[in-house]
Amino acid sequence: DQQVKQNSPSLSVQEGRISILNCDYTNSMFDYFLWYKKYPAEGPTFLISISSIKDKNEDGRFTVFLNKSAKHLSLHIVPSQPGDSAVYFCAATRSGAGSYQLTFGKGTKLSVIP
């Protein structure tokens, strides 16, 4: 059972426009969510996170929105740049003792077209 789902394997966006990457989760125990960016043949790099006590977190061009009732989060990139072209992974975890696992989605490949 996949607890974190990224239903769009790929997304193409024109440079300067908004990129919206979506993520859904099924485990209601998850209360901390992260987005990672990954270039080919490299390890993922952390982008931005959000705790379940918030519904929005912004860092420069990146904003993550969380809708707990819908178990849905999204990453907005505005404006999109060619260097943003990469695979984006959504990840989730739950607070509390004994929780060490980040559960990742399968990723969405973003292509920003110049």
Partner 1 sequence: SQTIHQWPATLVQPVGSPLSLECTVEGTSNPNLYWYRQAAGRGLQLLFYSIGIDQISSEVPQNLSASRPQDRQFILSSKKLLLSDSGFYLCAWSINMNTEAFFGQGTRLTVV
Name which position in 41, 69, 83, 114 contacts partner 1 (CB under 8 A): 41
**Per CB under 8 A, 100 contacts partner 1:** yes
Q: Taking CB under 8 A as the rule, does residue 44 contact partner 1?
A: yes
Stretch that binds partner 1, among 10-18, 44-52, 53-61, 73-81 (CB under 8 A): 44-52
CA distance 36 to 60: 15
**Sole window of 12-20, 31-39, 58-66, 72-80 interacting with partner 1 (rule: CB under 8 A):** 31-39
34 forms part of the interface with partner 1 (CB under 8 A): yes
Binding to partner 1 by residue 64, rule CB under 8 A?
Answer: no
Cα separation values, 27 from 23, 41, 64, 77, Å:
13, 30, 19, 26
Beta-carbon-side half-sphere exposure of residue 94 (alpha carbons within 13 Å): 12
Q: Does 7 bind partner 1 (CB under 8 A)?
A: no
Residue 88: count of CB within 10 angstroms of its CB:
23
